[in-house]
Structures are given as C-alpha cells and as structure tokens.
Amino acid sequence: MVLKDALTLSYRTVVSYRLRALLILLAMALGVAAVVVLTALGDGARRFVVSQFASLGTNLIIVLPGRAETSGGFPGALVGQTPRDLTLDDAASLATLRGVMRYAPLNVGASEISAGGRLREVTVLGSTAELIPIRNMKFAQGRFTAGSGPNPAEIVLGSALARELFPAGDAMGQRLRLGDRRFRVTGVLASQGESMGFNTDEIAVIPIDHAQSLLNTQSLFRILIEAQSRSMIEPVKAAIRSTLTVRHDGEEDVTVITQDAVLSTFDRIFRALTFAVSGIAAISLAVAGILVMNVMLVAVSQRTAEIGLLKALGATRQDIKRLFLLETLWLALAGAGVGIALGYAGSLGLRLAYPQLPAYPPAWASLAAIATAILTGIAASLLPASRAARLNPVLALSKR
Amino acid sequence: MIELSGISRIFTMGDQEVRALNRINLRIGPGEYLSVMGPSGSGKSTLLNIIGLLDLPTHGTYRLESRDVTALSEAEQAKVRRERIGFIFQSFHLVPRLTAAENIELPLILEGLPPAERQARVQAALQQIDLSDRAHHRPAELSGGQRQRVAIARATILNPAVLLADEPTGNLDHKTGAEVVALLEKLHHAGTTVIVVTHDRELGGRAHRRIQMRDGEIVGDES
Ligand SMILES: Nc1ncnc2c1ncn2[C@@H]1O[C@H](COP(=O)(O)OP(=O)(O)O)[C@@H](O)[C@H]1O
Ligand SMILES: [Mg+2]
C-alpha cells in the first residue's frame, strides 16, 4: 500500500466515525491548549519583569559608596569607619575607561518646589545631561544640557509635575523656585509611568552642581554608567573597581552592581517556572493519550471483521498497523491544530484581562505542544495498531 | 496447481484437541471447478482457509503453483493472498462506509497501483457484474445479490488463480443465488480455478468435481 492511499483511507475512516473523532480531538485539543496558555502565562510574567528592569536603562552599571560586606574580611575592621565619599572627580575618572559609553553622577533629595502660587514637595535628581539616555527617559518638550562643570540654573520637570504646576501647559521657559533657589524650566519629560516603584512623572531634574549646593553635600549618591554592550559589562565593572580603589588609596570602599545580574536571575527563575508549568500541562496531554488509546482499542474490536477482511484481501500486518497509526495521527494533528487555536485565543483572553501582562505563547511552546501531541498519538496507537495487525484473520472474519 | 499432502489442522481448546482436518491429501489442477460438501463441522471452512492462506496447517505441506507456501514469511503470504487468491464469504464482508466502487478498489490500493489504473479497472469490473449504475452506492443501499456480486468483483479484480467461496449463496434467495452462481461459472470459463463450499445440493452438483467431507477427512471425490 502506498503512503498517500493509506493517508486517504485512514482519513476517510476518521471522518466517518464522527463522535469518536470529536472525543479524541477534544481531549488532544484541551491538552495542547493547556500547554500553550500556561506557557504564555509563564513567559508573559517573565517578560513583564524583564521589561520592568529594562525600562531602567540597558547595560546599566551602578556605583554606590560603601562596601557591601558579603563575606570574609575583618568584622571589626570597618566598625566606626565611614566610607570615603564618592566625588564628581571619581565619576569623571570613569569616563575614559574602555567600554564605557556614558556616565552620569547622581544626587537625590527632596525639596519644596513652588510656581505661580502652587507649592509642593518633590523628589529632585541632580545629574548631567547623560542621565536622560542612561535612564531611558524621553523629552516631551525642550532639553537638558547640564555638564559636570558650572551650569545655568535650569530644571526639567516630570510630566505630571509640569501639569500640576503649570495647568495651562506653558511650563517651558517659566521660572520657579526650588528650595531657596530660582530655576528656569528648559524641558518637560514624556509621560512614562511607574517602573520598579519609581515614578519619573513626578520628579524634577537639575544640574549636579546646583543639586549639591541645594542639598549641601559633596558626596554623590550614585554614579550611573552605561556599558557599550552587554558583553562589556563585566570588564567595565572590574575596571571601575580597580580605578576607584587606586583613587581611594588602595581601599576598595565602593559597591558596583549591575541590574544585568538581577535581571538574569529573574530571567532564569521565570524560565524554570514556565518549563515546570508547561510540564504540568503536558500531563493533561498524557491523560489524553490514555483516553485515545482506549478509544482506539474499542475501535479495533469494533472493526475486527473489517481487519479480517483486509487480511483476506492481502493486506500485510504492516499495512494494518499503518492504517491505525495514521488514523490516530490525523486525530492528534487535528487536535493539536484546534488546541493551538484555543491556546492562542486563551492567551488573547489573558492579555485582554491583564493588559500589562504580555502573555504571548512562545513559539517553542506551540512547537513542543504539537510534537507532544503527535508523539502521544503515536504512543497511544502502538498497542491498538499492533493488536489489530496480530488478529487471527479466520477468527476476525467469523466475528460479525 | 494446489497440492495438499498430509495436511492436519488441530485446534486446542484448553486440554481438548479438535482435529478439524485429518491427514488430507488433495490435488487440484488449474481451471478446475470444484465443490466441497459435507455436514456442519466436517472441516470444509478450515480446508478453504488453509488453501487461502488465512490459516496454517498443524502438519503437512501445501504447495501452491509448485511453491511451498506455508514456509513463506507473513508479508510474502499476504502478497500471495493479494495476487493469487480471491475470497468470497457467506456474509459478503463489504466495508459499510465505502461505496461499491471503493470496496472493489481495495485490493488495488493494497497492491499499490496508481489511481488512474485503479479507476479504469474498477469501471471494467462494475460493468462485468452489471452494477455500473450502483457504483457510488453504499452496501446498505444494495440488495444481497448485488452485495455478493460486488464482493466477487472485489475478489477477482487482480485476476487471481484461485477463487474460494465459502457458502456464497447461504444468505441469498434462490433467484439471486442463481445469479451469483452464474457469475462464478463465468469466471471459471475465463480460466479461474473455482472452489465452492456449499450445503446446496443443486449448486454443489453443478461443479465438475465434487468432494465430500466428514470429520475432517475427504470421504468422496467424484468427477
Ligand atoms: N478457531 C477454532 N477453534 C476451535 N475449534 C475450531 C475453530 N475453528 C473450527 N473449529 C472446529 O473445527 C471443526 C471444523 O470446523 P469448520 O471447518 O468450520 O467446519 P464446517 O465449515 O465444515 O462447518 C469444528 O468442529 C469446529 O468446531
Ligand atoms: Mg463453515
């Protein structure tokens, strides 16, 4: 028998037993749909967390003063000793390191802001113009040009803050008071919303020199560095550490962290979770497989006489095995197709219900679900098919 | 062309042994028209099944067209069944979800012939059994006689050397039974070896060689 004819013949058999076909198809489809939806959920959660981190800036390295003691060292040695300040000169010394794309010194404080009779408390970031690209912030209007030297008194407002202080939308160029100093508005940030609990819509950004005198400090809160690429993160980190250690008289008294490390940990955790969840969903496919096997066993015993006839007509065992295998495969394939459709619909439903969650089924999950459905179909048909092939034709024909 | 020597078929049911065939010796030449008669349980069907390679003897050798066919592999036996042997049953055994034409086409599909050739052969076969106008009817829409004619067309579509019929008229009334017998005899005239198992004395008497069986043995063989 030619494969094409076996395909046609088994397809015709499948469609002529509607109820049986529907039952198997449904079982397979539900299993596949479960795999697709649950992986979409897991992968969506992973992407959500990753995008939250990415909105903080890519390839970001953060330097903070003080040594985060994790292990070893002399427990008593640092007691009572305040870490050395992190200065603007320290920050400038990092600019020329290989692999550094840009850097921004950062001071953060709270201050009172007032304009046109309105007064409120605001979080102030003091930095240079580089802060904006490093932190992935965008301008709705204007710009920020502060360097690390003396700067004019300019201020950039978060979108919500600008709206609140200047409801008419004419913030650009206006003068306002921050603490006891006067600033001119040179830019308004585009609305970005909250990311990792920090709302850029509610902040004000001023040049670093003004921030340091406003907050009355010479010590930086952070230095933000953007590496040229992901692969440069580690070498840049090492270079920062050694440069600052030399500058601080051989004392390694800064902490260098990367969000990349945190990010990849989360990434790994969520990937593992997704696999686990889809593995659990795959169990429902295995259950479907057992159901399919039983239905096919019933089919074999119902069609005993027909199998006997095929043998009398000269079908080999191989032919008969193949017919039953293909029958199951048709159903598994159709079930996988319907299941994928259901799974995508379910994922769409998830996305509609939780718009923040990018619950897209990953391509590998759909492929894995189809492959599992086909393997399940093959496994489930092995026993029925070989039982059919081994039937004694004389006994089979005598059964009516 | 059929040579049975010392053929026995013993069924064991628990600790009981049933000798369905007991040391049968039988030679049948090409083109013979032969009937097998005898009481129920005398081993007629078992003999036919062994000749048709649906069953294997417990003892003895069976040569078909000078080949020891009992020694062949399962796949080779299937090929012999497909190409050299045609079977007809009392209960027709048509596949209910396939049309008359598709039932007749089955052996051609198993043989792996291309669709165009299959169509031509099926058309010709339908014409031979005078059922061209029923080609696309399912078995349930055909009369008993029509069904058996479809079964005969199916059994002979690959021009087998031997046609084996186990009580082919058992489920038919006298008139349609006669039509079926006429068809079998037409095939015999065309050169096919025809072996008919029957209870019907009249049908059995028409054969040129008549075999009588009792208790698994051949007790009469007249020409
Ligand atoms: N599969 C089987 N298992 C056990 N006994 C069988 C089997 N097939 C046939 N027999 C026995 O073999 C004998 C011959 O049967 P069979 O060839 O069908 O006779 P007939 O066709 O002449 O009526 C009977 O006694 C029957 O009960
Ligand atoms: Mg019988």
Question: How many Å apart are CA A29 and CA A33, to the nearest integer?
Answer: 6
Interface test with chain A among B9, B87, B90, B99, by most A beta carbons within 10 Å: B87
pLDDT of A75 over the 70 cut: no
pLDDT of B163 over the 60 cut: yes
Phi, psi at B9, each rounded to 5°? -130, 115
Q: CB–CB of B171/B90 below 8 Å?
A: yes
Range with lowest mean pLDDT among A72-86, A262-276, A278-292: A72-86
> Are A100 and A21 in a shared domain?
no
A223: in domain: yes
Question: How many Å apart are CA B193 and CA B32, to the nearest integer?
Answer: 5
Whether A2 sits inside 8 A of B93 (CB atoms) is: no
Question: How many Å apart are CA A169 and CA A163, to the nearest integer?
Answer: 6
Element (H, E) at A118: strand A118-127
Whether A13 sits inside 8 A of B110 (CB atoms) is: no
pLDDT of residue A275: 83
Q: Which long-range contacts (CB under 8 A, 24 or more apart) does A240-249 make?
A: A240/A61, A240/A63, A240/A94, A240/A97, A243/A93, A243/A94, A243/A97, A244/A63, A244/A90, A244/A93, A244/A94, A247/A89, A247/A90, A247/A93, A248/A84
Q: Does B92 touch chain A (CB under 8 A)?
A: no
A64: in domain: no
- pLDDT bin (cut points 50, 70, 90) of residue A82 is low
- pLDDT bin (cut points 50, 70, 90) of residue A274 is confident
pLDDT of residue A78: 47
> Are A247 and A268 in a shared domain?
no
- pLDDT bin (cut points 50, 70, 90) of residue A68 is low
Burial bucket for residue B103 (CB in 10 Å: 0-12, 13-18, 19+): buried
Question: How many Å apart are CA A346 and CA A34, to the nearest integer?
Answer: 9
For residue A21, which residues of chain B lie inside 8 Å, CB to CB? Answer: none
- pLDDT bin (cut points 50, 70, 90) of residue A77 is very low
Question: How many Å apart are CA B134 and CA B149, to the nearest integer?
Answer: 11
The SS3 call for residue A214 is helix
pLDDT of residue A79: 43
pLDDT of residue A131: 92
Range of the domain at A247: 84-252
Whether A311 sits inside 8 A of B87 (CB atoms) is: no
For the segment A249-253, the average pLDDT, to the nearest whole number, is 85
Whether A397 sits inside 8 A of B112 (CB atoms) is: no
Give the CA angle between residues A39, A45, A50 to the nearest 5°: 125
Question: How many Å apart are CA B219 and CA B221, to the nearest integer?
Answer: 7
pLDDT of residue A198: 67
For the segment B184-206, the average pLDDT, to the nearest whole number, is 93
For the segment B7-33, the average pLDDT, to the nearest whole number, is 94
A13: in domain: yes
A131: in domain: yes
- pLDDT bin (cut points 50, 70, 90) of residue A149 is confident
Range with lowest mean pLDDT among A79-93, A244-258, A295-309, A323-337: A79-93
Q: Does B210 touch chain A (CB under 8 A)?
A: no
How far does chain B reach from its first CA to its final CA, in angstroms?
A: 17
Question: Which of residues 154 through 173 in chain B touch A, CB cutoff 8 A?
Answer: 154
- pLDDT bin (cut points 50, 70, 90) of residue A74 is very low
For the segment B20-38, the average pLDDT, to the nearest whole number, is 95
> Are A185 and A215 in a shared domain?
yes
* Encoded tokens for B156: 């002979």
Query: Minimal Cα distance from A314: which residue of B?
Result: B82
- pLDDT bin (cut points 50, 70, 90) of residue A73 is very low
Q: What is the CATH number of the domain that holds B166?
A: 3.40.50.300
DSSP symbol at A58: S
> Are A296 and A376 in a shared domain?
yes
> Are A184 and A210 in a shared domain?
yes
Question: Which of residues 301 through 340 in chain A touch B, CB cutoff 8 A?
Answer: 305-306, 308-319
Mutate to test the pocket of ligand 1, among B18, B40, B44, B51 (most ligand atoms within 8 A of CB): B18
> Are A244 and A270 in a shared domain?
no
Give tens-digit pLDDT for A186-244: 999 998 876 655 688 899 999 999 999 999 998 999 999 999 888 888 899 999 999 99
Question: How many Å apart are CA B71 and CA A369, to the nearest integer?
Answer: 46
Q: Write the DSSP assignment of A16-28 as a string of letters.
A: HSHHHHHHHHHHH
> Are A244 and A303 in a shared domain?
no
Q: What percent of chain A has pLDDT over 90?
A: 52
A73: in domain: no
Q: Which of A228, A252, A276 is the last residue of a domain?
A: A252
Phi, psi at B163, each rounded to 5°? -115, 120
Q: Does A15 touch chain B (CB under 8 A)?
A: no
For residue A312, which residues of chain B lie inside 8 Å, CB to CB? Answer: 52, 54, 81, 87, 93
A70: in domain: no
Q: CB–CB of B112/B143 below 8 Å?
A: no
Type of residue at B208? H
pLDDT of B49 over the 70 cut: yes
Number of domains in chain B: 1
Query: In chain A, which ranges are continuous DSSP H helix?
Result: 3-16, 18-54, 88-94, 131-134, 159-165, 208-214, 233-247, 259-302, 304-312, 317-353, 363-390, 393-398
For residue A307, which residues of chain B lie inside 8 Å, CB to CB? Answer: none
Q: CB–CB of B78/A315 below 8 Å?
A: yes
Q: Which of A252, A272, A306 is the last residue of a domain?
A: A252
- pLDDT bin (cut points 50, 70, 90) of residue A369 is confident
Question: How many Å apart are CA A319 and CA A311, to the nearest integer?
Answer: 9
Candidates A306, A308, A313; nearest CB to B110: A313
B210, β-bridge pairs = B35, B222
Give tens-digit pLDDT for A1-40: 899 999 999 999 999 899 889 988 998 899 899 889 988 9
> Are A242 and A161 in a shared domain?
yes
Q: CB–CB of A69/A78 below 8 Å?
A: yes
Whether A313 sits inside 8 A of B91 (CB atoms) is: no
- pLDDT bin (cut points 50, 70, 90) of residue A283 is confident
Q: Which of A252, A278, A303 is the last residue of a domain?
A: A252
> Are A300 and A243 in a shared domain?
no
Q: Residues with Cβ < 8 Å from A235, sequence gap 6 or more?
A: A98, A99
Q: List Cα–Cα distances, B191 to B154, B162, B169, in angstroms.
A: 17, 9, 22
Type of residue at B106? L
Range of the domain at B67: 2-222
> Are A232 and A271 in a shared domain?
no
> Among all chains, which residue has been given the structure tokens 């919500």?
A160
Q: What is the mean pLDDT of chain A?
A: 87
For the segment B171-193, the average pLDDT, to the nearest whole number, is 93
> Are A368 and A393 in a shared domain?
yes
B18 lines ligand 1 (CB under 6 A): yes
> Are A273 and A378 in a shared domain?
yes
Separation of CA B47 and ligand 1 centre (Å): 10
Number of domains in chain A: 2
Q: CB–CB of B43/B20 below 8 Å?
A: yes
Asked if this assembly's ipTM is beyond 0.90, the reply is yes
Q: Residues with Cβ < 8 Å from B116, sequence gap 6 or more?
A: none
- A124-133 burial, b at 16+ Cβ within 10 Å, e below that, comes to bbbbbbbbbe
